[in-house]
Amino acid sequence: MSPRLLVIGSSNVDLFATVPRHPFPGETLLGTGGARAAGGKGANQALAAALQGANVQFVGAVGDDADAELALAGMRAAGVDLDRVVTVSGAPTGLAIITVSQDGENTIVVIPGANAQVSAEQAVGAVERMGSDDILLMQGELPPKSTEAAVRAAGAAGLRVVLNVAPWLALEHDVLTAADPLVLNEHEAQLAVAEFGLAPEDGGPMAMARALRMAGAPSVVITLGAEGAVVASAEPASQVSGSRAPVSGSRVTRLPSPRVTAVDSTGAGDAFTGALAARLLEGDDLQDAAAHAVRVGAYAVQRRGAQPSYPRAGQELPGTFA
């Protein structure tokens, strides 16, 4: 069988509202929308990867309610393996309430529901069935203990882990440094740097990526929205004069984003991360995978919604890279 991407994560129903601008505290605005669609960071990334041609299995939980099928519908249609999704009796399916302003920026409130019941035992059991060429992809919407147990199990088995700590979780340091890559947006990267007690020289994304690499992460990707992404990975080891041991530094690269008109940024980070993992599964190096993922994210922000905005493999993407 071809290598498989195992995604252990959340699945939600997204409830959308569109407003002229985001309200101030205590303010009421009239909006439009009210549409409901499949979402959740785990499900979004699983779908994005599957649409890019990856063989994907999703592990998670839904409630015993009418929203369960809607939450899984996009993945099911894309051929994602859902055999390890459990139904939690008495719990609602996860819900995300998303408000999108006219400039395409969003605010999101997530109610975990059944996602909070994804146990460490369920997660580790799925990891134990992975093959040696499979990749584990996780995010920050599950209970921390479940995420930590799965990442440690994958690390112990010598499996590659892509960890997108979104939303931010203060996971144990050995879990954060098991990620190859650790994927963060700029705000999450600031929190990660603080978690490690680091003080990058200028506080910019390239300095933060380099600092997280030196803290022990094999590779780091920091997404920057319309500004693209920063990728940090190990340079080939070299012999330093006067030293007996080979050393390696960090190669840090900034990848620009194609210029597009953003309509809705909801789920664009998940489009990026799913596409990144799909390309790594195919054997791309991290920089090439991230360059492709930047273009997938730029495609997604030009369309409304999360999962409905994701491109399929072979669709024309904005921009080119030299």
Concatenating the DSSP letter of every residue in 178-201 gives T-SSEEEEHHHHHHHHHHTT---S
* Mean of pLDDT values over 42-64: 98
Query: Which domains occur in the chain, in start order?
Result: 4-10+40-91+114-309 (3.40.1190.20)
Which amino acid would we find at residue 89? S
**Residue 235: which pLDDT band, with cuts at 50, 70 and 90?**
confident
Distance CA 83, CA 79 (A): 11
**Residue 236: which pLDDT band, with cuts at 50, 70 and 90?**
low
* Binding-site residue positions for substrate: 12-14, 40-44, 141, 270
Selection from 38, 37, 75, 39 nearest residue 56 by Cα: 75
Looking at every residue in the chain, the average pLDDT score rounds to 92
Q: Give the phi and the psi of residue 21 in degrees, each rounded to 5.
A: -155, 165
> Mind listing the pLDDT tens digit for each residue in 131-170?
999 999 999 999 999 999 999 999 999 999 999 999 999 9
Alpha-carbon 3 to chain mean position: 19
pLDDT at 306: 86
pLDDT at 247: 39
Catalytic residue from among 174, 202, 270, 285: 270
pLDDT at 303: 92
**Residue 243: which pLDDT band, with cuts at 50, 70 and 90?**
very low
**Residue 320: which pLDDT band, with cuts at 50, 70 and 90?**
low
* Binding-site residue positions for ATP: 185, 223-228, 269-270
Flag whether pLDDT at 94 surpasses 80.
Answer: yes
- Name residue, tokens 């990891």: 127
pLDDT at 233: 94
> Mind listing the pLDDT tens digit for each residue in 30-40?
999 998 999 99
CB-based contact 213:220 (threshold 8 Å): yes
* Binding-site residue positions for K(+): 264, 266, 300, 303, 305, 309
Distance CA 42, CA 45 (A): 5
Flag whether pLDDT at 237 surpasses 70.
Answer: no
Assess whether 270 carries a catalytic annotation: yes
CB-based contact 143:181 (threshold 8 Å): no
> Mind listing the pLDDT tens digit for each residue in 267-288?
899 999 999 999 999 999 999 9
